[in-house]
Structure 1
Amino acid sequence: MFVDRTLFVTVNVNQDVDVTVVGAGPVGLVLAAELALCGATVQVLERRAEPDESMKAGAINVPTAEALDRRGLLPAAERVQREMLERVGSFARQADDQPPGGGRGARESRFTGHFAGIVLDADLVDWSDPELAAHTAAAGARMVPQRELEKLLADHVARLDIPVHRGVEVTALEDTGDGVLVGTTAGTVRTGWLVGCDGGRSTVRRLAGFDFPGTDPELTGLLAVVDIAAPHKLVNGWAWSPRGAYRYGPQPGRVVTVEADGAPADRSAPVTLEEVQTTLRRVSGTDVTLTALRGTATRWSDNARQAATYWSGRVLLAGDAAHVHSPFSGQGLNLGIGDAMNLGWKLGAVVAGWAPEGLLDTYDAERRPLGAWVLDWTRAQTGVMRGDAKSAALRRIVADLLSTREGATYAVKKISGVTQRIDLPGDHPLVGRFVPDLWLRDGSRLVDHGHGGGFLLLDRTPDGAFARLAAAWDGRVSSVTDDHATPTGVLVRPDGVVAWACDTTDIAAATDLEAALYRWAGAPTVP
């Protein structure tokens, strides 16, 4: 038993659980929820006594919005977006990298973002592109800031009765082969598995001895919300100078600064009003005066590193603990949520005892390439963001490319995440991709039938042949029948990735389905 003298409450940490997740940010909360849906006993340890209120990511991408949708959280996320738009009002609607309206609809899908501060023009994008058009159902849940997302996920975790122990720090760990002994400020915890979701300076990663190679930072950035005496002195949007770049908006008082001065001298030191004003004056070339700092400002860099492995023994990493990079294009939070969704059901299957051989190995194999791509995507933006003459020349060329229909569409697809694909067995174009919006005859979508986790099988055969085959995996696979159409069959993993799909109803299709079920869902539950 550990007494947190800051909160004056008693923290009872479970001494023996299947999985202990370290870190109660969005990644840790999503992972804990996915594990609980698989039947694992799980607890979350968080060193902070209170939720982190600092300003971080301002929006989520399509795979993250769809992950919320698959767990029944889309209405709550849409509500957050509506409230955000109401708060920022006309300022946000005039901003050049935010969605222009609330509620569902085609206009909301025009969430573009920016590449290295070059805002992508929504009117240039080919919104009829098949990859964009296949993922619009969750478009009304993209403008969900990290703080609001964390609150939404905390409610989700609470409904699943998952304990979150705050004010508890990890101080030591020992992998015993059959579990992990974790030393904490609340005493020693024995856990079957330990997952570090504790950020870029992960204690779990350091104590477990994971290598963390990468590239050193060249930029220092600040993100803050401030009161400004004369805001008209600043440009609404991104602006560059030889000293760096800054972004004002899309809500009143929000400023971002970027300077090519190397790593921050002390990244952990609190960001002061004076520091923000000095930096903003330097990069904007104005005498703008800031009168107050609202909330907790954030300091960041373009430090780019990836763990040499995401899994060693009984210890795993997810989110920023596994990879760090600059926040350009808003990839970090989304990459971490993707890690959690991918790992959750796989580790849950191992704990439950039905995981097919090698399933946990696929976590590293599937997520590492995407993590490496994000690091390079953000490194490329560093090359464009610097204030030197060479970077300025490169920025003009990139801006010219992004001002074309093809360039803008390409960048929006990459930023939104709709092009993400895992290399899986199978020739169908859906295999390895996140399941698109598959509407059924009753007006529902396939994902509406999987809020409790598990595999989803869409069966459009005339006689329900695919569903009958999958019945042997009862309890792991939920089958949904529909009128005949193409695709005639789709098997969706718990993380939303299509594991099998076909456009026929022949024996070969059924054989391939059975192979996919064995590969991903293990041996049948019904002999």
Structure 2
Amino acid sequence: MKATQNQNTYDVIIAGAGPVGLFLACELALAKCSVLILEKAADPHSPIKQLPFGLRGLSAPSIEALYRRGLLEQLEVHKKLKNPHQNAKQGAERQVGHFAGIPFTEGNVDQSRWEHRLPGSPGPSLMTTMDEMETVLTRRAEALGVEIKRGLAITGFEQNDSGVTVLWDSYSFNSKWLVGCDGARSAVRKLGGFEFAGTEPEFTGYSTRIDLADPEKLNPGRNVTSRGMYLQSQPGYVLMQDFDGGAFHSSEQPVTLQHIQEVLRRVSGTDVTVTALHMATTWTDRARQATTYRNGRIFLAGDAAHIHAPLGGQGLNLGLGDAMNLGWKLAAAIHQQAPGSLLDTYYDERYPVGMQVLDWSRAQVAIMKPDASSRALYAIISDLMNTNDGATYFAGRVWGIHTHYNLGDDQPLLGYSVPDFELADGTRIGKLMSDGRGLLIDFGGDASLKALAATYSHQLKYVSGPAKDQLGLSAVLVRPDGIIAWVAGNEPDFSKLQKAAERWFVRN
């Protein structure tokens, strides 16, 4: 049957209306690109997204990205929640995160060591839900003119030198670019022939809502046992890890009450009785990553590009980072304002970050396995995390404090997120980035810097004036995604600034 062609040609078609696809659409639409999202699910409000174990922790890079686009204040869930790790202990003893179920406490995390996080900056962690993220980002995307079609699963696509034709059933849609943000089982990745390399799972994970005849037999909170792990965040909401090599998840068998009771008894070491099963889903710690994030005019982002165990909520943050990195670069290419190699830097920068997260996930699984060697490692890591040095290191990793890109220079702060400098008039740098353009921050009012910024004014905004704490810097060049591309101490090196500007921007 001949496909019925949609008459519109979009700049970008995105497969998937999850947080990653929606945030990418917002970034592209902010830059005046036309965007169509095709989402296979007809109903965006899956009940499982709204359950207590649907909570997700946003890390510093994600929080900063939302803050810089004026979206952070729209998140409300965290205002209604106690810290999900809260227990009877308060203050310094309060649990604020974990690694493989091993907690680190507020009092042991020394945030003063993160010297480039200025007072007044957004916090390094925040709780939200997938449902809230999708609601906020859908509202913003639609306000920016993004078109969202639900209940449409991509069945094929064809690309050539000038664009992509995306197929759904007997319909087709045309675009200049296609981005797969369609999750772990990405149709775009499979149809596009991307290699998805990695390691096989050690366990089957279960997220359940159940009724128990004797809930007092289960300890509250996260419990790592000699047979696996279970977490009871609230009565009736139970997560489990059963080290079966991922066999049950791979079998695609229905999850029955009897099976859940069997696994829960084995993992918890109790004879707890399940009286009703209301909802259950399974997952694994399979860790895979696409060996390239681009095939011609096709890109991958989020879980379509990398999957791993959802331990510590790293997946959502990794995907949002992909979207923030790719959005402005793809928009620049569409508007013919991109240097030749700009799109290649998406893979160059994001692949190593993804690889680190996959290894972080594998390391957690390694010390959670129910064997003697893992128990020994678990004990050592527990001791380490009960120190200031250990807790500060693990918190910095979990919260993405040290995330940066290798931009090939030894300048301090290069490749890191720009600190939220507060200018003398009270304006903060993060608030100046809501339009999606880069910044040239000139603390000293250098006329030559102002003149250079003017030659890139379509993509670059010039900001002049002293800040309350300049961290010993006189000027900073910031990419649209908030990453520092050049810095200057007392005397700006104009030749290095010109080189950096030419690397990331195109003159007017």
- TM-score with structure 1 length normalisation? 0.88
Identify the match of residue 56 of structure 2 among 58, 66, 73: 58
Q: Which residue of 2 aligns with 1:27?
A: 20
How many Å apart are 1:127 and its aligned residue? 2.1
Asked if 1 retains the 8 angstrom alpha-carbon contact of 2:453 and 2:462, the reply is yes
Asked if 2 retains the 8 angstrom alpha-carbon contact of 1:239 and 1:247, the reply is yes
Asked if 2 retains the 8 angstrom alpha-carbon contact of 1:38 and 1:352, the reply is no
Which residue identity does 1:257 align to in structure 2? M
Identify the match of residue 465 of structure 2 among 470, 482, 498: 482
Which residue identity does 2:460 align to in structure 1? V
Superposition map of 1:321-470 within 5 A: 321-470=304-453
Q: Deviations over 1:169-198 (max 9, x none)?
A: 100111222211211136111211111000
Q: What is the rounded CA distance, in whole Å, between the counterparts of 1:383 and 1:35 in structure 2? A: 39
Q: Deviations over 1:7-52 (max 9, x none)?
A: xxxx996642111000000000011111111221111000000114
SS at match of 1:359: coil
Q: What is the rounded CA distance, in whole Å, between the counterparts of 1:356 and 1:23 in structure 2? A: 28
Greater displacement, 462-471 / 450-459: 462-471
Q: CA RMSD in A?
A: 2.5
Structure (1 or 2) with the greater strand fraction: 2
Greater displacement, 430-439 / 134-143: 134-143
How many Å apart are 1:439 and its aligned residue? 1.4
Which residue identity does 1:120 align to in structure 2? F
Q: What is the rounded CA distance, in whole Å, between the counterparts of 1:395 and 1:169 in structure 2? A: 43
Identify the match of residue 80 of structure 1 among 63, 77, 82: 77
Q: Which residue of 2 aligns with 1:104?
A: none
Asked if 2 retains the 8 angstrom alpha-carbon contact of 1:45 and 1:165, the reply is yes
Q: Which residue of 1 aligns with 2:490?
A: 504
Asked if 1 retains the 8 angstrom alpha-carbon contact of 2:249 and 2:284, the reply is no
Q: What is the rounded CA distance, in whole Å, between the counterparts of 1:234 and 1:135 in structure 2? A: 42
Q: Which residue of 1 aligns with 2:110?
A: 126
Q: What is the rounded CA distance, in whole Å, between the counterparts of 2:161 and 2:88 in structure 1? A: 53
Q: What is the rounded CA distance, in whole Å, between the counterparts of 1:80 and 1:118 in structure 2? A: 25
Q: What is the rounded CA distance, in whole Å, between the counterparts of 2:356 and 2:309 in structure 1? A: 13
Superposition map of 1:237-386 within 5 A: 237-249=221-233, 251-266=234-249, 271-292=255-276, 297-386=280-369
Greater displacement, 468-477 / 351-360: 468-477
SS at match of 2:194: coil
Asked if 1 retains the 8 angstrom alpha-carbon contact of 2:95 and 2:103, the reply is no
Q: What is the rounded CA distance, in whole Å, between the counterparts of 2:413 and 2:295 in structure 1? A: 32
Q: What is the rounded CA distance, in whole Å, between the counterparts of 2:366 and 2:396 in structure 1? A: 21
**Structure 2 stretches lacking a partner, 5+ long:** none
How many Å apart are 1:427 and its aligned residue? 3.1
SS at match of 2:486: strand
How many Å apart are 1:76 and its aligned residue? 1.1
Q: What is the rounded CA distance, in whole Å, between the counterparts of 2:379 and 2:474 in structure 1? A: 47
How many Å apart are 1:217 and its aligned residue? 0.7
Q: Which residue of 2 aligns with 1:471?
A: 454
Which residue identity does 1:460 align to in structure 2? F
How many Å apart are 1:356 and its aligned residue? 0.4
Which residue identity does 1:75 align to in structure 2? E
Asked if 2 retains the 8 angstrom alpha-carbon contact of 1:240 and 1:387, the reply is no
Q: What is the rounded CA distance, in whole Å, between the counterparts of 1:14 and 1:416 in structure 2? A: 45
Q: Which residue of 2 aligns with 1:5?
A: none
Q: How many pairs align?
A: 495
Percent of aligned pairs sharing the same letter: 43
Q: Deviations over 1:344-382 (max 9, x none)?
A: 111111111110010000000000111111111111111
Q: What is the rounded CA distance, in whole Å, between the counterparts of 1:132 and 1:264 in structure 2? A: 45
Asked if 1 retains the 8 angstrom alpha-carbon contact of 2:211 and 2:275, the reply is yes
Q: 1:419 to 1:117 in 2, by over 3 A?
A: same
- TM-score with structure 2 length normalisation? 0.91
Q: What is the rounded CA distance, in whole Å, between the counterparts of 1:148 and 1:124 in structure 2? A: 31
How many Å apart are 1:290 and its aligned residue? 4.1
Which residue identity does 1:279 align to in structure 2? V
Residue 44, structure 1, aligned to residue 44, structure 2: no
How many Å apart are 1:53 and its aligned residue? 3.7
Q: Deviations over 1:238-269 (max 9, x none)?
A: 223222111121x4543221111012434566
Q: What is the rounded CA distance, in whole Å, between the counterparts of 2:5 and 2:257 in structure 1? A: 39
Q: What is the rounded CA distance, in whole Å, between the counterparts of 2:357 and 2:36 in structure 1? A: 29
How many Å apart are 1:418 and its aligned residue? 0.7
Residue 170, structure 1, aligned to residue 149, structure 2: no
Which residue identity does 1:69 align to in structure 2? Y
Q: What is the rounded CA distance, in whole Å, between the counterparts of 1:405 and 1:395 in structure 2? A: 18
Q: Which residue of 2 aligns with 1:6?
A: none
Which residue identity does 2:479 align to in structure 1? R
Q: 1:148 to 1:269 in 2, by over 3 A?
A: farther
Residue 494, structure 1, aligned to residue 480, structure 2: yes
SS at match of 1:82: helix
Q: What is the rounded CA distance, in whole Å, between the counterparts of 1:131 and 1:119 in structure 2? A: 24
Q: What is the rounded CA distance, in whole Å, between the counterparts of 1:13 and 1:229 in structure 2? A: 56
Q: What is the rounded CA distance, in whole Å, between the counterparts of 1:424 and 1:438 in structure 2? A: 22
Q: Deviations over 1:286-322 (max 9, x none)?
A: 233445556x543110101110100011111000100
SS at match of 1:29: helix
Asked if 2 retains the 8 angstrom alpha-carbon contact of 1:21 and 1:197, the reply is yes
Q: 1:518 to 1:322 in 2, by over 3 A?
A: same
Q: Which residue of 1 aligns with 2:67?
A: 69
SS at match of 2:283: strand
Q: Which residue of 2 aligns with 1:161?
A: 145
Q: Which residue of 2 aligns with 1:231?
A: 215
Which residue identity does 2:101 align to in structure 1? G
Q: Deviations over 1:145-182 (max 9, x none)?
A: 22211111111112112111000010011122221121
How many Å apart are 1:274 and its aligned residue? 4.6
Q: 1:455 to 1:196 in 2, by over 3 A?
A: same
Q: What is the rounded CA distance, in whole Å, between the counterparts of 1:293 and 1:345 in structure 2? A: 45
Which residue identity does 2:78 align to in structure 1? Q
Q: 1:393 to 1:463 in 2, by over 3 A?
A: closer
Which residue identity does 1:239 align to in structure 2? N
Asked if 1 retains the 8 angstrom alpha-carbon contact of 2:60 and 2:401, the reply is yes
